[in-house]
Structure 1
Amino acid sequence: MKIIRGLLSHQNLLRNNRSPLVLAISLVLSGCATFSPDQGMGVVADIADGTIKKDVIAIRSVDDARQADDNVKRLLHRTLTVDTAVQVALLNNRGLQASYNELALAEADRIQESLPPNPTFSVSRISGNGATEIERQVVGDILALATLPFRSEIAKQRFRQAQLRAVLETLRLAADVRRAYYRAVAANELVALLSGAKATAESTAQLSKKLGETGSLNKLDQAREQVFYAETTADLATLRQEATSSREALARLLGLWDGDLNFKLPSHLPTLPPRPRALPRIEVDAVEHRIDLQVARIELDALAKSLNLTEANRFVTMLDIAGIDRKTREPEGAPFRERGFDIQFQIPIFDGGEARVRQAAETYNQAFNRLTEKAVNVRSEARDAYRTYRSSYEIASQYQREVLPLRKIITEEMQLRFSSMQVDVFALLTEARQRIASLRAAIEAKRAFWFAQSDLQTAVNGGGSGEGQSKSPTTTAQAGGNGGH
């Protein structure tokens, strides 16, 4: 802006005879947009706090990095809960920080679109046979200046859209962390269960071998006990590998490495809530709160404004005005000065703008249909997520209320009968296998419930995998403003 003012004040032409270009620019100078203090992060922080109750930070300086690192180390000193895991990821995941960098770039684009076009200043000097001519020109794009309010408004909406995309990435990371956390904790719980089962199977296998050597156990029963031990050993090895991989997946999402990899996880999944959530307005809540729907609505509004701009300048795509100051000195005679202006514009002989208008209209219609489709899909996803949430709760609570208590009663009764020699050791071990199978199924049912609860939150607020990845349709705002250049 200082350069523009310097060029304008330097020219005698503009001091003595102000052109319409200079008047227009001087009116716009006071309305230039400025960078926001938080680079757009205020909206992201507010929605993150209201939706997932977490803090977010865009690391822009050494102090920001130090503050985030201190908070992460403080959270890692104790056993991670799902909430602390999400908070660590929001502070420490560099992919999320890259999304916040994109938000800062979008704000720079907003500022750029709000600035008036730079004038072009030229000086020419021609001399010969003692005569000298000096000409100075200031050329400005009047069409770009006239459409500046339209383009500035579209840029503001694009920036708002970029803010919501940053929110979407934040919610997506939180959802991924929740699922990775429950997967890792469930894997640890299953490993502990199968470790105990392996010890029992190993003792049974050794006992069956000794009984077989004495002739007290036939070959068939020996093989059954041996294969149970072998299968349990293989199953435990698979679960240990899954536990290691799920822990690494969680560490990647948390952005941890080196010494921070020794974070502690609980040995068991959280207990089920006393009762499931009742959400009679689940579809309405999803349509009102889904961030990806809000992004699509802003996209549609921006395309509507772009369509209006394209229709407004469909016939005129270039309009330049130049202020001219020409000074001529003859070999004999007094010098004289000429002032005036020059206007250039295109004549729409071949291109009447019909193609650009048609393209803008179809782009708008395409975005409208996609928004309608997304709204229908969002309602369906919300209904499906809620049904899955309720059914998974019922299944998991069935194991907790009935299956496991009954299994405990059966085990206690079998132990009493074994003590009174009413059943042999192998009947007791058979019941132990069945109880282990029920415990494993109960752990998997509880894990499925916590997955379903995370998916329900995602269905209402947005942030599911694959959302927001497609590029938004390119508007014709810039083409409409500068199509002739």
Structure 2
Amino acid sequence: MRHPLTFFLLLLFLSPAVQRATWAQTDTLELELEEIIALAQSDAPDVLLAQTRMKNRYWSYQSALADFKPAITFGGDLPDLNRSIDIITQPNGTDIFLQRAQMRNRLGLSLTQRIVQTGGTIFASSGIQRLDIFREDADDIVSYYSTPISIGLVQPIFGFNNLKWSKKIEPVRYQEATRKYAEEMEQVAYNAATFFFDVYIAQLDLEAAQRDKANADTLLAISKGRYEVGRIAETELLNIELQSMRADAAVQEAVLNLQTSNEKLRNFLGIKRAVNFKMKPPTEMPDIQLEIDRVLEIALKNRSNPLVWQRRMLEADRSIAQAKANSGLQMDLFAVFSLSQTGEKLNDAYQNPLDNETFQLGFSIPIFDWGKARARLETATSNKELIRQNVEQDEVNFEQEMRLKVKQFDLLRSKAELALRAYEIAIRKEEMTRNRYMIGKNDILDLNVAVEEKESTRRSYMSALRAFWLAYYDLRRSTLYDFDREVSLVKSLDALDE
């Protein structure tokens, strides 16, 4: 299940399939968004925790399934030696102290099977016992007691059948666990995308700050020459010098932000050694058309929420059934048929076995319990109604949430496209304004406005791009479906092991 992180990084370097993720320089890893997500879903600490939880749920389910299968047991006592002085009751009813020395050996094989439909248990067994009585004044006595076959039934009547309800609930609980595991994996993908854009935007902020710093230094050098020949006033020179200082401070702040984002991503991925990330620009936005009804249908099919609602209602029905069963007549049937024989030799103990029968029917009838049984039943019934109302409200909220996510996704894609166009216009406008300023056709105020507009539109575009991709992975997380490749993201435990 767990792939060593170093092996995965080596694959990133060597494999032609992922050749784009290469070491650009020492301790710097160039990755795209999808590669960051693949790396996170391979070995991130959150993934290892999710896999461990899934394993626990799997084995809990296997333990529950074992309750429906026959159990075979082999046991015995080898030896059971008793040499002591005990109180022995005599034929005339008196008790006296006598010394005893005996050894008993016992072997037995038993088979039990629970009955789902009735909640009872049938069993079969076979066994042999040997008794050795040690005597000082005579020969030792050896005898055998065999039970070639013993068949029995333990059956509660009118009682609560927990096994029947377990057969209904446990498969639902396991399916719920597999869906939750897929949700946890997509949560990791969403978090990875968040950290990716934290680093990517910090990286672009640093590049923009360095570019602005270079422009500010160039502008300051030109302005000093203009000031010396009297073409600009001292106040304008001071403003330009102040902008250069602000640009330098912005570079330092951008470096710190990039380092912080880089460390957060490294810790999230569980990489122990120092490494720097250089994010490649996200690929083109996926061109997918979403239909609200189809998205809702997929989400209801894949998510764990419907299974949670189903399990909660089944558990409520189980509580009512248990309250009803425990409030009336209770009967227990016990029946055994067996063949047995004794003998001084082992073969004699299996000759002409005698039949033995045991039949017992016990009952318990509550006469007066001060309304306790009714109170339990009413409480269970009331809880079921409360759960039903909560489930209905959860279903409404779930549908509204999915419809809202689809609408937001379409809106964010349009917003990102418009923001990109606005950023491209602002870049062109800033270049033209800067060129006109260099030849003296614009003043410093026009240039400042153009620079601020470019920075504002750049940040708006980065924010819109980030919002779109996070909405895309949020949609995957909310539906457990990859709409780009048209595949479900719910995996079985076999796929998890691979």
Number of matched pairs:
387
1:94 has 2:48 as partner: yes
Distance 1:282-1:340 versus aligned 2 partners, 3 A rule: closer
Alignment of 1:212-251 (within 5 A): 217-251=232-266
**Structure with higher strand content:** 2
Contact 1:100 1:166 in 2 (8 A): yes
Measured in 1, the distance between the counterparts of 2:268 and 2:211 equals 31
Partner of 1:85: 36
| Paired position in structure 1 for 2:366 | 348
CA distance in 1, matches of 2:227, 2:331: 98
Match of 2:393 among 373, 393, 402: 373
**2:110 aligns to what?**
none
User: In structure 2, what is the equivalent of residue 130 of structure 1?
Assistant: 90
Counterpart pick for 2:7 among 45, 64, 70: 70
Relative to structure 1, the CA distance from residue 82 to residue 360 in structure 2 (aligned partners, 3 Å threshold; closer, same or farther) is farther
Between stretches 210-219 and 220-229, larger displacement belongs to: 210-219
CA RMSD of aligned residues (A): 4.6
Among candidates 192, 198, 205, match of residue 190 of structure 1: 205
Q: 2: CA distance between counterparts of 1:391 and 1:423?
A: 38
Q: 1:73 to 1:338 in 2, by over 3 A?
A: same
Pair 1:284–1:427, CA change in 2 (3 A): closer
Which of residues 420, 429, 449 is equivalent to 1:400?
420
Counterpart selection for 1:444 from 452, 463, 469: 463
| Alignment partners' CA distance in 1, 2:360 and 2:382 | 38
TM-superposed deviation, 1:377: 1.5
Deviation at 1:211, TM superposition (A): 6.2
Structure 1 position 460, deviation (Å): 3.3
CA distance in 1, matches of 2:477, 2:379: 35
TM-fit CA distance, 1:262? 2.6
Q: 1:357 to 1:167 in 2, by over 3 A?
A: farther
CA distance, structure 2, for counterparts of residue 280 and residue 157 of structure 1: 27
Q: Which moved more, 1:389-398 or 1:240-249?
A: 240-249
Please list every run of 5 or more consecutive structure 2 residues that lacks an aligned counterpart in the other structure: 15-20, 22-29, 96-130, 132-146, 342-354, 483-498
For residues 332 and 70 of structure 2, what CA distance do their matches in structure 1 show? 14
For 2:264 and 2:440, the matched residues in 1 are separated by: 50
| 1:142 corresponding residue in structure 2 | 155
Residue type matched to 1:130 in 2?
Q
Note the C-alpha offset of 1:291. Answer: 0.7
In the alignment, the residues of structure 1 paired with residue 409 and residue 87 of structure 2 have an alpha-carbon distance, to the nearest angstrom, of: 86
Is the Cα–Cα contact under 8 Å of residues 89 and 173 in structure 1 kept in the other structure?
yes
Contact 2:320 2:380 (C-alpha < 8 Å) held by counterparts: no
Give the direction of change, closer, same or farther, for the CA distance of 1:316–1:106 in structure 2 (3 Å limit).
farther
Task: Within 5 Å, give how 1:23-422 maps onto structure 2.
Answer: 59=1, 65=3, 70-71=7-8, 73-75=10-12, 78=21, 79-92=30-43, 93-111=47-65, 113-114=67-68, 128-130=88-90, 142-143=155-156, 147-205=162-220, 217-258=232-273, 262=275, 264-273=277-286, 277-281=289-293, 284-285=296-297, 287-289=299-301, 291-303=303-315, 305-307=317-319, 309-310=321-322, 313-314=325-326, 315=328, 319=332, 321=334, 340-351=358-369, 353-401=373-421, 403-414=422-433, 417-418=436-437, 420-422=439-441
Percent of aligned positions with the same letter in both sequences? 15
Pair 387,338 (structure 1): closer, same or farther in 2 beyond 3 Å: closer
Q: For residue 454 of structure 2, what is the amino acid of its counterpart?
A: R
Unaligned runs of 5+ in 1: 1-58, 328-336, 464-485
Considering fraction of residues, name the structure with more helix.
1
Q: What is the rounded CA distance, in whole Å, between the counterparts of 1:74 and 1:263 in structure 2?
A: 18
Given residue 84 of structure 1, which amino acid in structure 2 is its aligned partner?
Answer: E
Higher relative contact order (CA 8 A, sep 6+): 1
Q: Is the 8 A contact 1:140 1:320 kept in 2?
A: yes
SS of the residue corresponding to residue 114 of structure 1 reads: coil
Q: Which amino acid aligns with 2:33?
A: V
* TM-fit CA distance, 1:311: 5.2
- Partner secondary structure for residue 31 of structure 2: coil
CA distance 1:365–1:244, shift in 2 (3 Å)? farther
Q: 1-side partners of 2:288 and 2:299: how far apart?
A: 22
Report the CA distance between 1:306 and its aligned residue: 1.4
CA, structure 1 residues 434+382, in 2 after alignment: closer, same or farther (shift >3 Å)? same
